[in-house]
Amino acid sequence: MSHHDFHHLTDGNARIALVDDTASHTYGEVNSRIDRFATGLLGNRSDLEEERIAFFLPASLDYVTCMHGVWRAGGISVPLNVASAVAELDHYLSSAKVTRMFAQAGAPNELRELCASLGIELLTVEEMLAEAPGDLPEIDPGRRAMMLFTSGTTSKPKGTVSTHKTIRAQITTLIDAWCWTEDDVIPLFLPLHHIHGIVNILSCGLWAGATVHLFAGLDIPKVTSQVAAGVYNVFMAVPTVYVKLIQYLETRDEKEVAAVCAGFKAMRLNISGSAACPVKLFEQWRDLTGQVLLERYGMTEIGMGISNPYHGERRAGYVGQPLPGVEVQLFDESHRPVEGEGNPGEIRIKGDNVFLEYWGNEEATRKSFVDGWFCSGDMAVIEDGYYRIMGRTSVDIIKSGGYKLSALEIEGVLLTHEEIAEVAVIGAEDEVWGEAVTAFVVTKSGDELDFAELKSWCNERMSSYKIPKHVKRLDALPRNAMGKVTKPSLKSIPL
């Protein structure tokens, strides 16, 4: 991917690229800011040579400037979760060996101290803008472009590295499959440290020449009033957002509900993904708004892999068929391809959309590929030509509100609590979150833990969405003959 690929980002283009709380920004304005930022980043160098540059910024003109500026100058963009606890940032920044970090002016002291202790320069975008754009390097598409942290079956999140070519493939596939055009207008309220927000919404929008409305987070009253005003024609979200929208509309008067539903109905596309969309939710949304949700399946390491059709049947409970350019094959445990309908297997993926590596972790990278196929860890089956996701191969991955969380990472933190002797974390079925982080603990004293106290203890140590929604004390954790906790049996314990 070179910046020439985002061909609407050119000087003088008066189309509106971004709308935020205070202003609209044209493609021309955004482009010249990116060029000035890239020039400033380079200083007297000709290429950043894959320097890791982090940004701790909400959805904003600054965020877009950073992402594209780093790309144009030959660096690796490391967008960080603005809701992270400082302890988590420490891991991201030190494992990625970040050298410079961009945040808003007046960054919290804790962040300043962390950067200082890691020798990272903490800067604002404004102060890095060069007076005028200078020469920028030609970037080979095979070079590293972006690192996103993903939780897995190990206790620490891994940096997933995509190249310019990977990102280009991920974007162009969706531009075609979902018929993006420059007339599209889409709200962006999902976080910008994951591909759902970064690739599917922001990057596709800017690639297509569309207009992206930036929100600092999910502000339902604001989003729905814009929907009612007919501002958007495309809407993408995780299932939890659709659940929350329905719950919100249940509290509003008839007139408002009718206006919001009419706004959704008039859109050309509503998409759900990042977690399973329950059939009940698909049906509720259709009954309420007339929109037939397009569900698709993706992953940080591959972008989008499987999608229901834009034209054609969108089947509830199914994710559709492999996207053009993405090879999908189901495999059994002995790495043999599973052929035919009705036979479950692990989803494995090949294609230009697949990431390059886990940063600095050759072993994890090697283990995640078999014969050139990326092993997703998700089980699926094909029925009547459509893929259905059956679940994951690991019980240690939890999907809560679209966030992928590692049970082991949360257990690791909880085990440092002075009262906790043993702990097992699982994802319990939940109507709003899909899965709710649930901790079973054995306490040293045998006494119950105070939930509110534990929550505030956790708050200092992990992003708030990782904090257990339920904590249940047991006298002992259920274990098999090998002494391993039998997590599936925990799922049936009433909370």
Interacting residues with ligand AMP (CB under 6 A): 150, 194, 273-276, 295, 297-300, 319, 376, 378, 389, 392, 399, 404
Q: Cα–Cα–Cα angle for 251, 216, 403, nearest 5°?
A: 80
Question: Out of ligand MLC, ligand AMP, none, which partner does residue 378 contact, by CB within 5 to 8 A per kind?
Answer: ligand AMP
Q: Which residue is nearest to ligand MLC (CB)?
A: 401
Distance CA 495, CA 493 (A): 6
Shortest distance in whole angstroms from residue 125 CB to ligand AMP? 27
The site partner of 465 among ligand MLC, ligand AMP, none (C-beta below 5 to 8 Å per kind) is ligand MLC
Strands (E), 361-493: 369-370, 373-383, 386-392, 397-400, 403-406, 420-430, 434-443, 470-473
Neighbours of 292 (CB within 10 A): 17
190 interacts with, out of ligand AMP, ligand MLC, none, CB within 5 to 8 A per kind: ligand MLC
Angle at 178 between CA 175 and CA 184, to 5 degrees: 75
Query: By the 8 A CB rule, do 247 and 212 touch?
Result: no
Residue 433 interface partner, choices ligand MLC, ligand AMP, none, CB cut-off 5-8 Å depending on type: ligand MLC
| Interacting partner of 389 out of ligand AMP, ligand MLC, none (Cβ under 5 to 8 A depending on kind) | ligand AMP
Residue 4: Cβ within 10 Å count: 9
Q: With CB cut-offs between 5 and 8 Å by kind, which of ligand AMP, ligand MLC, none does residue 276 bind?
A: ligand AMP
With CB under 5 to 8 Å by kind, the binding choice for 240 among ligand MLC, ligand AMP, none is ligand MLC
Least Å distance, CB 439 to ligand MLC, is 13
CA atoms within 13 A on the CB side of 345: 22
Residues 6+ positions from 281 with CB-CB distance below 8 Å: 239, 242, 243, 246, 272, 293
Q: Which residues contact 1 (CB under 8 A, 6 or more apart)?
A: 71, 139, 141, 145, 164, 165, 167, 168, 171
* Residues contacting 319, CB < 8 A, separation 6+: 295, 296, 297, 306, 307, 308, 380, 386, 387, 388, 389
Residue 79 touches which of ligand AMP, ligand MLC, none (Cβ within 5-8 Å per kind): none
CB of 169 to ligand AMP, least distance (A): 16
Considering only residues 238 to 297 of the shown chain, the ones binding ligand MLC according to CB under 6 A are 238, 240-241, 244, 273-274
Which residue from 196, 314, 388, 487 is in contact with ligand MLC, where contact means CB under 6 A? 196
d(CA 152, CA 154): 5
Smallest separation, CB 466 to ligand MLC (Å):
8
Given candidates 400, 409, 439, 462, which one binds ligand MLC under the rule CB under 6 A?
Answer: 400
Closest CB to ligand AMP among 263 and 401? 401
Based on the shown chain and the rule CB under 6 A, indicate whether residue 191 belongs to the binding site for ligand MLC. yes
Nearer to ligand MLC, 373 or 403 (CB): 403
Which CB atom, from 58 or from 317, has the smaller least distance to ligand AMP?
A: 317
Q: How far apart are CA 265 and CA 244, in angstroms?
A: 18
Instruction: Answer yes or no whether residue 401 interacts with ligand MLC by CB under 6 A.
Output: yes
Q: Is-contact 309 296, C-beta < 8 A? A: no
Q: Which residues bind ligand MLC (CB under 6 A)?
A: 190-191, 194-197, 217-218, 238, 240-241, 244, 273-274, 298-300, 400-403, 433, 464-465
